[in-house]
Amino acid sequence: MGWVAEMRLNGPFPLPSRSPDTDAPLVRLRYTLVLLAVVILAGALGYHLLSRLGTLDSFYMAITTLFTVGFREMGEVNANTKLFTIFYLIVGLGVATYALSNLTALLLEGDLRGYLMERRMLKRLDDLKDHVIVCGFGKMGFQAAWELKKAGVPFVIIEQDETKGRSPRFSGELILYGNAMDDLTLERAGVRNARGLITALTTDADNVLVTLTVKQIRPDMPVVARSAKLGTERQLRAAGADHIVSPYEIGGRRMAGLLLKPEMMNFFDVVLQQEQLELGLERITIAPASPLVGQTLREARLRHATGALLVGLVHPGAGLRFNPSGDERFQAGDEILIMGPADALETLTRLAEGKV
* Distance between CA atoms of residues 20 and 80, nearest Å: 43
Mean pLDDT, rounded, for 310-336: 86
Choose among 117, 130, 112: nearest CA to 191.
130
* Per-residue model confidence (pLDDT) at position 222: 92
* Distance between CA atoms of residues 28 and 115, nearest Å: 12
Total H helices, total E strands in the chain: 13, 11
The continuous run of DSSP H or E covering 321 comes out as strand 320-322
Q: What is the pLDDT of residues 173-184, one digit of tens each?
A: 788 888 999 988
* CATH classification code of 277-352: 3.30.70.1450
Q: Are 266 and 311 in contact (CB under 8 A)?
A: no
* Per-residue model confidence (pLDDT) at position 103: 74
Choose among 206, 134, 194, 122: nearest CA to 164.
134
**Most confident residue range from 27-41, 90-104, 187-201, 255-269:** 187-201
* Per-residue model confidence (pLDDT) at position 11: 38
How far CA 29 is from CA of 16, 17, 38, in Å, comes to 20, 17, 14
- Span(s) in the chain for CATH 3.30.70.1450: 277-352
Phi, psi of 311 (to 5 degrees): -95, -40
Among the listed ranges 158-162, 259-263, 274-278, which one has the minimum average pLDDT value? 274-278
Find the Cα–Cα–Cα–Cα dihedral 79, 80, 85, 91, rounded to 10°.
130
Q: In terms of pLDDT, which residue wins out, 139 or 229? A: 139
Mean pLDDT, rounded, for 225-239: 84
Mean pLDDT, rounded, for 83-95: 82
| Omega within 30 of 0 (cis) for the link into 288 | no
Specify the CATH number for 20-109; select among 3.30.360.10, 3.40.50.11310, 1.10.287.70, 1.10.287.470: 1.10.287.70
- Span(s) in the chain for CATH 3.40.50.720: 128-245
Among the listed ranges 6-20, 161-175, 218-232, which one has the minimum average pLDDT value? 6-20
* Distance between CA atoms of residues 183 and 191, nearest Å: 9
Q: Are 327 and 297 in contact (CB under 8 A)?
A: yes
* Distance between CA atoms of residues 42 and 185, nearest Å: 48
Sheet with 223-226, edge to edge strand ranges: 5-8, 174-177, 155-159, 132-135, 196-199, 223-226, 243-245
Q: Is 336 helix (H, G, I), strand (E, B) or coil?
A: strand
User: Which CATH class name applies to 128-245?
Assistant: alpha beta
Query: CA 292 from chain center: how many Å?
Result: 36
Per-residue confidence band for 270, with pLDDT thresholds at 50, 70 and 90: low
pTM: 0.56
* Per-residue model confidence (pLDDT) at position 21: 47
Q: Is 25 helix (H, G, I), strand (E, B) or coil?
A: helix
Sequence-separated (6 or more) residues with CB below 8 Å from residue 165: 4, 6, 137, 157, 159, 175, 177
